[in-house]
Amino acid sequence: MKIRDEVLLEFKIKLEELITDREAMIAGNKVREATGEQMAYPAEMFFTVNQEMKALREFLIELRKKNG
């Protein structure tokens, strides 16, 4: 049985959300750096996004194992 299209679509949407968040954090920090301000997004926030991406990956791996 293959992974249902709806599940894959939701997976892709969540991944895109995380990528967008990360890119916005990078851009926000660059703007603040250019204006001499303190970073808005510390390393911990990037770590959190990274952990969420890893969790999605693990979810997909487990789903594939269960569904073949």
Residues 26-49 pLDDT 10s = 999 999 999 999 999 999 999 999
The percent of residues in the chain predicted with pLDDT above 90, rounded, is: 72
- One-letter-per-residue 3-state SS of the chain: CCCCHHHHHHHHHHHHHHHHHHHHHHHHHHHHHHCCCCCCCCHHHHHHHHHHHHHHHHHHHHHHHHHC
Model-level pTM?
0.84
- For residue 57, give both structure tokens: 């990956």
Q: Does residue 14 have a pLDDT over 70?
A: yes
Residue ranges of domains in the chain: 5-67
